[in-house]
Amino acid sequence: MKTDIEPVLEKHPAASRDQLIPLLQAVQQEEGYLSKEAVIRIGRRLGLSASKVYGVATFYNQFRFQPLGKYHITVCRGTACHVKGSLSLLEAVQNELKIEPGQTTRDRLFSLETLACLGACGLSPVMCVNGEFFARMTPNKARKLIHDLRREAASQ
């Protein structure tokens, strides 16, 4: 999903360096991630080098540098989910997709992230695909879900 970020930049006409985080958030909201081009243009807007902008953005794990996949998977790593085995769930997803949190598969089918709590602790461990919750997940259920999603994508 590539969009032009000019309208977003124009909404911050008086952007100063202390506007860097809000501007990064706004651009990510618009594009789904922070592209190289976006980082450069934000830097120009604020009089900062691209490496400075990138350095700040990588400090916060809310920012992504790759576009989201068709299926965006979130694995909860909050306390309740951790106690119920979310680490092995996450490892199963990572092994199946061969990516780390914050990354997108080469075929752009899957992206992965972790969150501290998805607000559904009673259903732990929880994972989410494009906003749909999957409760009491296990590594096997997660692998099956990913296989099903691959099949679904192949049939479209």
What residues make contact with ligand FES under the rule CB under 6 A? 76, 78-81, 117-121, 124, 126
With beta carbons less than 8 A apart as the criterion, state whether 57 and 97 touch. no
Query: Could you report how far apart the first and last alpha carbons of the chain are, in Å?
Result: 19
- The order of strands in the sheet holding 132-134 is 110-115, 71-76, 127-129, 132-134
C-beta closer to ligand FES: residue 56 or 121:
121
C-beta closer to ligand FES: residue 50 or 121:
121
Q: Is 131 helix (H, G, I), strand (E, B) or coil?
A: coil
C-beta closer to ligand FES: residue 74 or 104:
74
Helix (H) or strand (E) holding 133: strand 132-134
Minimum distance, C-beta of residue 110 to ligand FES, in the bound complex (Å)? 20
Minimum distance, C-beta of residue 76 to ligand FES, in the bound complex (Å)? 3
Q: Which residue is nearest to ligand FES (CB)?
A: 78
**For the CA atoms of 45, 48, 28, 4, what is the dihedral angle to 10 degrees?**
40
Q: Is 75 helix (H, G, I), strand (E, B) or coil?
A: strand
Minimum distance, C-beta of residue 102 to ligand FES, in the bound complex (Å)? 19
Minimum distance, C-beta of residue 121 to ligand FES, in the bound complex (Å)? 4
C-beta closer to ligand FES: residue 23 or 137:
137
